[in-house]
Amino acid sequence: MNTDPLIMSARQALRAELRAKRRALSEQEQCHAQQQLLTQASDFIHNADIIAAYLPNDGEISPQTLIDYAWAHNKTVALPVLHPFHPQTLLFVRYTSQSNMTKNKFGIPEPQLTTQDIIPIHTINRIFVPLVGFDDQGNRMGMGGGFYDRTLAPITESHQVGYVSFKISTPPTLIGLAHDVQMLDSIPCAQWDIPMSHILTPQKCITMTDC
């Protein structure tokens, strides 16, 4: 783990390079990738009651086939929503095909935030996280805003829920999703990075244990 300015500069350069690679994928390649992704992810969804995913942006691999599969198997699906009171953190909100959607400040659609649709993070079984880059050690590099890292840190590092000291026994499984072109030999990590337990691409399942 390192916050050296040279490391941070290297991360920024890698981030720009990898974002360009995923944006360069054609619509056909993107569609094929998300279809293949379901093959890797179906077991993770099948063995869960509640999953969290995301809507793709900036060339991210789409989890829409995963969401459709979850709905078809009566799973609860949540999407991240920018927290209105705690800057640079996320809430997870129930998402259905009938959800009223709004666009956040980044132009990304998210379900309209209502208190009854908030899903507590400790009740989620699988959280599918978008990646900019990753390596075979489960390290990920995100967009740089730190939204997922800040949100997930309490629950992964101390099994603490949100902003209170409520302890849980089984934190959500964190699963990164990416295109194969986003894989690097090694990610230069920062001290705040939350590693994934699994990373799925159309062709790979990388995990700290057997898939």
Please say if the pLDDT value at position 174 is more than 70.
yes
The per-residue pLDDT for range 6-17, each reduced to its tens digit, is 667 777 888 889
**Do residues 53 and 76 touch, judged by C-beta distance below 8 A?**
no
Kindly list the domain boundaries of the chain, sorted by start residue: 5-191
For the whole model, what pTM was predicted? 0.88
Q: pLDDT per residue over 21-78, tens digit each?
A: 999 999 999 999 999 999 999 999 999 999 999 999 999 999 999 999 999 999 999 9
Written as six digits, the tokens of 175 are 């699963």
Assess whether pLDDT exceeds 70 at residue 125: yes
Given this model, what pLDDT does residue 132 score?
92
Q: What does the pLDDT read at residue 2? A: 46
The span from the CA of 178 to the CA of 39, in Å, is: 14
In sequence order, what E strands does 21-62 have?
Answer: 50-52
Output the CATH code of domain 5-191: 3.40.50.10420
pLDDT reading at 142 higher than 50: yes
Residue 7 to residue 20: CA distance in whole angstroms:
20
> Average pLDDT, stretch 159-185?
78
